[in-house]
């Protein structure tokens, strides 16, 4: 994924239950689009990391994170000012990653939708 520094970052995810509850079934890996996962009672944050020096958690570091629990939907919007501190990718120390962090009511923490990030400037390709 590319994050264009100087622009607003927008992203939407929808999470669905699998077609089969049986973990041995091939359908367990396929989404049931008629059955979104209920995100009620789950604390969710969006994290962007760059190398070992820059890490931000949203919405704490700015922007908005909108959750529609019964639809399994998460929307993130981060303005350019909340992406300050990240720099254009120029080598291995500036590569990054982003992910959603789910904290469940029992204290279990899981990361989902993890992606590698390439930071580019407005004029970059």
- pLDDT of the residue at 37: 94
Q: For residue 93, what pLDDT is reported?
A: 62
- In this predicted model, what pLDDT tens digit does every residue of 53-82 receive, in sequence order? 789 999 999 999 999 999 999 999 999 999
The yes-or-no verdict on residue 125 having pLDDT over 60 is: no
Q: What are the residue ranges spanned by the domains of the chain?
A: 2-121
What average pLDDT is seen over the chain? 91
State pLDDT tens for residues 18-30: 999 898 998 999 9
Residue-wise pLDDT for 94-119, tens only, equals: 678 999 999 999 999 999 999 999 88
What is the CATH number that goes with domain 2-121? 2.60.40.10
Check residue 84 and report its DSSP letter: B
Question: In a 10 Å sphere around its CB, with 0-12 CB exposed, 13-18 middle and 19+ buried, how is residue 87 labelled?
Answer: middle
Give, in order, the Cα–Cα distances in Å from 122 to each of 6, 9, 62, 66.
6, 12, 20, 26
Confidence (pLDDT) at 91: 65
- Asked whether the beta carbons of 70 and 40 are under 8 A apart, the reply is yes
What pLDDT is recorded for position 23? 87
Residue 86: name the closest of 60, 125, 124, 50 by CA.
50
């Amino acid at each position: 994924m590319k994050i264009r520094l100087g622009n607003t970052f927008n992203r939407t995810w929808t999470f669905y239950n699998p077609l089969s509850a049986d973990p041995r079934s091939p359908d367990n890996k396929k989404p049931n689009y008629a059955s979104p996962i209920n995100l009620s009672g789950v604390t969710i944050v969006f994290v962007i990391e760059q190398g070992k020096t820059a890490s931000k958690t949203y919405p704490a570091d700015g922007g908005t994170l909108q959750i529609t629990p019964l639809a399994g939907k998460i929307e993130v919007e981060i303005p350019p000012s909340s992406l300050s501190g990240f720099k254009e990718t120029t080598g291995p120390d500036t590569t990054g990653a982003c992910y959603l962090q789910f904290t469940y009511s029992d204290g279990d923490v899981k990361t989902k939708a993890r992606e590698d990030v390439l930071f580019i400037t407005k004029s970059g390709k």
